[in-house]
Structure 1
Amino acid sequence: MSVKPLSNEQLKQQAPTLFTSNAHSEVSSKYHFIPTIDVIEEIKSHNWHPVSVSQAGVRDLQKEGYQQHCVRFRHFEDLLNPSDNAVELLLFNSHDRTKAFSISAGIFRFVCSNGLVISDSVFESYKIKHLGERDNDVATAVSNITAIKDKLLLKIDKLSSIKLNDSEKQSFAKSSIPLRFEEHLEVNPNDLLLPHREEDFQDDLYTTLNIIQENLIRGNIKGVNKQTNRKFTSKQISSISTDAKLNKELWDMAEKIAGIKEPDYLMAA
């Protein structure tokens, strides 16, 4: 489970857009440009280090180097002593105004190399507007994620302790379908509950959340288009924004289920 942080050279190889030094030409002159690498260095100074990065593909070649990107960071302590689940800091940005600079919280589950994004109801994303000021958003976001890191891990323990019967798991899967598929696309909820590894043959809420998330994100779910009666197979989600949105909505759904199963859960949270 050992993970090594990415060097700036590795970041540049995997996502050159992190090092773009100017905004896209279509952006207004009022737009305050901040190179992503500057924010990465600021985050690193707070003991969080980049461990993975992704950048969106582009159809318009003029947008190459300005597209959306996401960097995931892990705390120094978690790099020293890895555990089954690690709290992560997620940095989102683009240089063409399609995605605002923001920092969110996430969870990485080692058993399946699965990255969740915490919903805004649990940890509100922070917008980044400036750097180097006393109360700048980067320092505030990083310190707040650091402060709630242990609380998030306790929340995972609690979700892992809540058991679901088959009917409840089916309801969870059925309710998650509209988050990914339009109304005319019909899929079997049971297909969203299929585990991909032995460790996931569990009946707890946290494992069920991860199984559904993995199946929705990675695709290969078969279904029928009710309008055309044609069969289809879902593709892997590659959009950074769609991935984050789906993750947050699934986490919100898991929170609601926890509140139903154990009414004291939301009060404790």
Structure 2
Amino acid sequence: MNNTQPDWKWRIVLALAICTYPLAAHAGGGGVGATEVTQIMNHAELVASVAKQAQMVEQNIEAQIVRLQNLAQMSPQVLSGATTPYRAQMGSLQSLYTSVSGLRQAAEQTNDLFSRSMSEMSNTGMTPSQWLSAYSKLATTRGGYYRQQLDSDMNSLSILAQRAQNLQQVQSLIPGISGNVQGLQLLNQQTGLLAGEMLDMHALMQRQLTQRMQEREAVAQGQVNAARLAAARQVEARLLNELEVKDINSEPPFELLKSRN
């Protein structure tokens, strides 16, 4: 329990850096207001909370599926016609289970993103904003593994948002299901917030990456322009030198001694 509190603080700080770093570049030093900071802190906690809640709901759904499967294995004489509604519910529960399981996996993967990032910051002594700046710079300047890793992290955010939206859709197709599965109602409320926030975070990181790429392209274009200008001036200097030499050669020879009559 003692290790949980520092971990939460770092999660909050990291999420704050990811979400506010691109904003700070355009805010003229104004930063973000208290409302945005509070929201960002809540969003950082939301990812881990969804992973935990989804795991509990997943287990509850699985237990219901097992009970229905056990009922289905009983003899028709014992079952009579009383289990017809439960048989119909089996398919709905299985679809819901698949959706919740996918959400849990995506949330856990996003949690891994936070854990790895915190470890890197701890090992390098970087602040969250320094880490994010270095991460995007490595991805744009060195490419390869660094770009693949950044793309993977951003993809994790996008997938988590998609899984949250999918759970909302699946639940809407099963009337009354949230009241029949313990914990599902809370998870439904959490995913309603999570989808939008993960999309926002993905968009902010994408803007940061785009800005880095534009900066790199500007530097590269500046170098190309400087090289072109240097080459043009070399040509100009050579032509001027050739012209001066030609003028000198065209001058009549200067006679120091003239012949006397």
Shorter-chain TM-score tier? under 0.3
The answer to which structure has the higher strand fraction is: 1
When normalised by structure 2's length, the TM-score is 0.24
When normalised by structure 1's length, the TM-score is 0.24
Point out which structure has higher relative CO (alpha carbons under 8 A, 6+ apart): 2
Q: Which structure is larger by alpha-carbon Rg, 1 or 2? A: 2
The answer to which structure has the higher helix fraction is: 2
